Amino acid sequence: MAVIHRTTMSPGKLELIAAWLPSRPWYRGGDAPRLGKAGGFRLDDPEGEVGIEFMVVTDTSGDSPVTYQVPLTYRGAPLESAADGLIGTSEHGVLGRRWIYDGVHDVVLVEQLLALLAGATTAQDQNASDVPDPTVEVRGEGSGVPQGPTGAGTVTDTDDTSLVTVGPSAQEGPLSTLALCRVLRPGPTAEGDGAAGRVLAGWSDPDGTRQRGAFAHLAPSEH
């Protein structure tokens, strides 16, 4: 179970994300993002070592607001295999120095997102300990989702999505593509596209309007 500490982080999450966002190929705002927290949820690391948060932020620096999904992992030591995904470090008021990663590069987040798609774990409230978030919806759970330890492979960024190649950690068997929507759009998702599963969740616009859309989906396995 993830424990949510009521404390400070320096620099804060939004500050770190704002410095990192302009380097992303899917970023659509100005040179200096103006970010506001818009929503999100958490997943638990079964080992209790890694914090996992799917943060939603809205940037108002451009001609119109753009909402992004930024999956984050928080670690107590550097993760060499995720060096390309390091967003920065921050001093946590309780836990000390934390290394914060773009979660698509972190195998723990990838495995727990697959577990969510398989119906093997439950989304947790972003701001409270041990409180499930019933607003996070999984469709098509279990069908075709890789089970057990999974190797998180190549990450490819498009203009609105991050694609992660996933498959058995022994590199045997079919591979799948886990797609995380970076630019969030409200509305229904396409059904009947063969996706093995999808995650839908909500967020708030700057004016307080509630929106809902796709956060992630698992593409069919390649044989």
**CA–CA dist 20, 24 (Å, integer):** 7
Helices (DSSP H) in the chain: which residue ranges?
Answer: 13-20, 107-117
- Alpha-carbon distance of 209 to 203, in angstroms, equals 8
End-to-end CA distance of the chain: 36
The pTM for the full model equals 0.90
- pLDDT the model gives residue 25: 96
Q: Is residue 3 part of a domain?
A: no
pLDDT tens sequence across 151-170? 567 899 999 999 998 876 54
Q: Is position 223 within any domain?
A: no
Check: CB of residue 186 under 8 Å from CB of residue 211: yes
Q: Report the residue count for the chain.
A: 223
**Stronger pLDDT, 88 or 95, i.e. the higher one:** 88
Which segment of 11-20, 50-59, 86-95 scores lowest on mean pLDDT? 86-95
Q: Is residue 154 part of a domain?
A: yes
Residue 173: the pLDDT is 64
Residue 1 lies in a domain: no
Q: What is the pLDDT of residue 122?
A: 96
Mean pLDDT of 123-148: 83
Q: Where is pLDDT greater, at 39 or 93?
A: 39
> pLDDT band at residue 176, thresholds of 50, 70 and 90?
confident
Residue 160: closest CA among 29, 69, 26 = 26
CB 137 within 8 A of CB 200: yes
Q: Does residue 158 lie within any of the structural domains?
A: yes
Q: Does some domain include residue 96?
A: yes
The range of the structural domain enclosing residue 13 comes to: 9-218
pLDDT tens by residue, 178-221: 999 999 999 876 554 567 789 999 999 999 999 999 999 998 65
Residue 81 or 196, more confident: 81
pLDDT band at residue 85 under the 50/70/90 scheme: very high
Q: Are 107 and 75 in contact (CB under 8 A)?
A: no
Assess contact for 13 and 34: CB atoms under 8 A: no
Domain count, the chain: 1
Decide: residue 171, CB within 10 A, 0-12 exposed, 13-18 middle, 19+ buried: exposed
> Quick one: pLDDT at residue 52?
97
Span 30-59, pLDDT tens digits: 889 999 999 999 999 999 999 999 999 999
CA 2 from centroid of its chain's CA atoms:
16
In a domain, 173, yes or no: yes
Is 4 part of a structural domain of the chain? no
Peptide bond into 174 cis (omega under 30): no
